[in-house]
Amino acid sequence: MASQTRSSIRFTVLLLIWVAAIELSMEPVECRRSKSHGHGRRGYYAGSALTGMPPRAYTASVKDFGAVGDGVTSNTEAFHAAIANLSQYSENGGAKLVVPAGRWLTGPFNLTSHFTLFLEQDAVILASQDLNEWPIIDPLPSYGRGRDLPGGRYTNFIHGANLTDVVITGDNGTIDGQGEIWWQKFKNNELNYTRGYLVELMFSDHIIISNLTFVNSTSWHIHPVYSSYIVVSGITILAPIISPNTDGVNPDSCSHVRIEDCYIVSGDDCVAIKSGWDEYGITFGMPSQHIIIRRLTCISPTSAVIALGSEMSGGIQDVRAEDITAINSESGVRIKTAPGRGGFVKDIFVRRMNLYTMKWVFWMTGNYGQHPDDKYDPNVMPLVHGISYSDVIAENVTMAGNLLGIERAPFTGICISNVTADMAKSKKLPWNCSDIYGITSSVSPTPCALLPDQGSDAPPCPFPTDELPIDGVELNQNSYW
């Protein structure tokens, strides 16, 4: 009873913190030519040094380019013209495009470097539902084909490639993918190409996405790929829990990522870390690494709070997740891989999770058998090693752990400590384990024999104490954007 009371208090506190965070407002735009007062955003990581950054030098409103915020008029040309115009300032102090209150319908658009997209309070950007406005682009090289279908993919709604210093933020405005038409076409097999994502930035660095609400993406919501030094902070992501593949935040072959203070309700994983698919990911060879996830609240009845894979052929390492709350979700942490994936998932650290109504607390599978084509090598095995879970309280759980490795490549170095899972009435055993090896301490219910108990005096599972460079980024809303 005491543990349940403590977990309820922690849950309430986390929600209060979240509500306070999304109510924070930012200074309104007042001038066309900003003045720098010499107090830029502290801790902006640039290269190998931490430096201050001044405010954007130029500001414009999308209304200046003829946009009409009535929710009906197409503003595709206005958004394209605005960003093309502001791109001229990318090497001269940067620019900010302001989207005022209103409902702004537009087709997909590309961002530019040294650029801020700022949505004022009550501003809503609506994605066009006219598929003719969504051109077909090449598949990602680490996937070899579209994720839904062979071949290319529809472009992403907000896209950027080879950029640096990009900020997508605001006063809790909304970006709405209007994905219903796409979900229905996908379910009815009426699409010839893979759906695009709500936001995708590729081959880019120094990215901040904050203080906005993202809803109803066609597929994944936030997808940084082949990118580095990324902060996703204080955002809300909402999609119907039956919507297909509407993952929340999916870092993909990315390094130095920080995801914090986010509230996500989705039809798929709230956060999924990826790094390419089978032979294409192995050849591309870019891991996802040095990733922080903290103060995340998730609802995902059919998927995971945090997923690693299944596309992990470039490798995933050094992931640090803490202070996670989940309600009515399928699994707390899910590792997905299969023979033919290659790559690795290693040095994964998770602590302080509060979970309410779960199918599994921990899930690992080495038989997640989706492949891009028949060219993969089934003899190429993934490495899963060094997985640490600690300080977890779970209530109303069907199973504590469903941990199934690969006979030819067992999952090793698993450590689970200080975990209490209160079981729901179920005929299932609390643990199901095969082809795994590790240790446990202070875990209830008693784990499977492949995870022997080391006793209550055993040291807790490790969690890194060093600070990653991305931790040094401080978000100063008033002076930079």
Check: CB of residue 320 under 8 Å from CB of residue 256.
no
Q: What tokens were used for 291?
A: 């990733």
Q: Is the pLDDT of residue 352 over 60?
A: yes
- Model confidence at 481, pLDDT cuts 50, 70, 90, reads low
Region 277-287: mean pLDDT is 98
Please count the other Cβ atoms lying within 10 Å of the Cβ belonging to residue 388. 21
Would you state the pLDDT for residue 33? Answer: 42
CA pair distance 245, 418, nearest whole angstrom: 33
Would you state the pLDDT for residue 223? Answer: 98
Q: What angle do CA 324, 290, 407 make, to 5 degrees?
A: 80
CA pair distance 14, 86, nearest whole angstrom: 39
Q: What tokens were used for 206?
A: 């120094």
Using omega within 30 degrees of 0 as the cis cutoff, is the peptide bond preceding 253 cis? Answer: no
Q: Is the pLDDT of residue 270 over 80?
A: yes
Check: CB of residue 57 under 8 Å from CB of residue 92.
yes
The reply to whether 268 belongs to the active site is yes
Given 176, 268, 318, 471, the catalytic residue: 268
The dihedral over CA atoms of 50, 56, 61, 64, expressed in degrees to the nearest 10, equals -140
Q: Is the pLDDT of residue 448 over 90?
A: yes
Q: Is the pLDDT of residue 28 over 60?
A: no
- Model confidence at 16, pLDDT cuts 50, 70, 90, reads very low
Q: Is the pLDDT of residue 18 over 50?
A: no
Would you state the pLDDT for residue 159? Answer: 98
Output phi, psi for 240, to 5 deg: -55, 140
Region 223-242: mean pLDDT is 98
CA pair distance 136, 243, nearest whole angstrom: 23
Distance from the Cα of residue 232 to its chain's centroid: 8
Would you state the pLDDT for residue 376? Answer: 97
Q: What tokens were used for 164?
A: 């640096």
In three-state form (DSSP H/G/I as H, E/B as E, the rest C), the secondary structure along the chain is CHHHHHHHHHHHHHHHHHHHHHCCCCCCCCCCECCCCCCCEEEEEECCEEEEECCCCEEEEHHHHCCCCEEEEECHHHHHHHHHHHHHHCCCCCEEEEECCEEEEECCEECCCCEEEEECCCEEEEECCCHHHCCEECCCCCCCCCCCCCCCEECCCEEEECCEEEEEEECCCEEECCCHHHHHHHHCCCCCCECCCCEEEECCEEEEEECCEEECCCCCCEEEECCEEEEEECCEEECCCCCCCCCCECCECCEEEEEEEEEEECCCCCEEEECCCHHHHHHHCCCEEEEEEEEEEEECCCCEEEEECCCCCCCEEEEEEEEEEEEEEEEEEEEECCCCCCCEEEEEEEEEEEEEEEEEEEEEECCCCCCCCCCCCCCCCCEEEEEEEEEEEEEEEEEEEEEECECCECEEEEEEEEEEEEECCCCCCCEEEECEEEEEEEEECCCCCCCCECCCCCCCCCCCCCCCHHHHCCCCHHHHC
β-partners of residue 97 are 60, 117
The reply to whether the predicted model has a pTM over 0.85 is yes
Q: Which domains does the chain have, with CATH numbers?
A: 2-33+43-475 (2.160.20.10)
Q: Identify the residue with better confidence: 310 or 47.
A: 310
- Model confidence at 462, pLDDT cuts 50, 70, 90, reads very high
* Residue 243: burial class (beta carbons within 10 Å; 0-12, 13-18, 19+): buried
State the Rg of the chain over Cα.
22
Residue 191, CA atoms < 13 Å, CB-side half-sphere: 25
- Model confidence at 477, pLDDT cuts 50, 70, 90, reads low
Region of residue 309 (phi > 0: left; psi between -120 and 50: alpha; otherwise: beta): left
- Model confidence at 53, pLDDT cuts 50, 70, 90, reads low
β-partners of residue 397 are 358, 423
Check: CB of residue 379 under 8 Å from CB of residue 350.
no
User: Max CA-CA distance within the chain?
Assistant: 69
Check: CB of residue 116 under 8 Å from CB of residue 137.
no
The single-letter code of the amino acid at 398 is: T
Region 293-305: mean pLDDT is 98
Q: Is the pLDDT of residue 32 over 60?
A: no
